[in-house]
Amino acid sequence: MMVHRVALVVLCGCGHPVNPADAIVSPAQPGEPLLTGVAFQCDVDDAEWRFYIRADAWAGGARLWMTRDGELTEVHRMDPQSAARDGSWDCHELRLDIAVDQRDASSGSSTRFRCTDLPELSFRLAVSDTDDEAWTDCRTWGAAPALLDGQAGAPSCDRVLTVADEPGELDDHTVLWGDVADCPG
């Protein structure tokens, strides 16, 4: 089994499933959520990518951009997964099946990129304000993150993450940056 993993570490409170009505009606900390953790895993056996992010407040949205060459870029929306009732943090998750046929890849549910493509890929993650009107924070990493500059809808991002050659493991993720301990995975 070949697994590429990425995760994040920080001490946090207990999480609760996201109640969409709570997030829309009255966020306790409206404004500009900042990323406090980014993690991903590509599982060859399950033919699946998993991405997790954690923000320091409720985020209105989260997106992932992936590319190998800057010509073909996939954009995927991340789903809210869990959040603090008081609005002090939330987690978003994205699970992408690896399409058997690249032509079958679809936004949001599958990808054409294989685990073995990892050394050639570039990624960008971003979170938005509680109204999902403006990007408030981002992280980018991979072979050539600048390939994602100017991509449709992608924010400019100078917060480049470096994936360790042999990252440590935590809860079936590979440590990339920060903390995703509140994000069940």
Q: Are 15 and 182 in contact (CB under 8 A)?
A: yes
Nearest to 130 by CA among 34, 8, 10, 65: 34
Strand segments, DSSP code E, in the chain are: 3-6, 16-17, 35-43, 48-55, 62-67, 73-77, 79-83, 90-98, 110-111, 122-128, 135-142, 169-170, 173-178
Tokens of residue 124, six digits: 């960008």
pLDDT classification of 161: cutoffs 50, 70, 90: confident
Query: 87-122 pLDDT, tens per residue?
Result: 899 999 999 999 887 777 776 689 999 999 999 999
pLDDT classification of 174: cutoffs 50, 70, 90: low
pLDDT recorded at residue 182: 74
pLDDT recorded at residue 114: 93
Tokens of residue 138, six digits: 């981002």
The answer to whether residue 16 scores a pLDDT higher than 90 is no
pLDDT recorded at residue 68: 95
Q: Which domains does the chain have, with CATH numbers?
A: 3-178 (2.60.40)
Query: 26-76 pLDDT, tens per residue?
Result: 444 556 899 999 999 898 889 999 999 999 999 999 999 999 999 999 999
Q: What is the pTM of this model?
A: 0.78
CA gap 143, 20 in Å, rounded: 36
pLDDT recorded at residue 183: 80
| Residues of the chain above pLDDT 90, percent | 55
Average pLDDT, the chain: 79
For residues 157-166, average pLDDT: 74
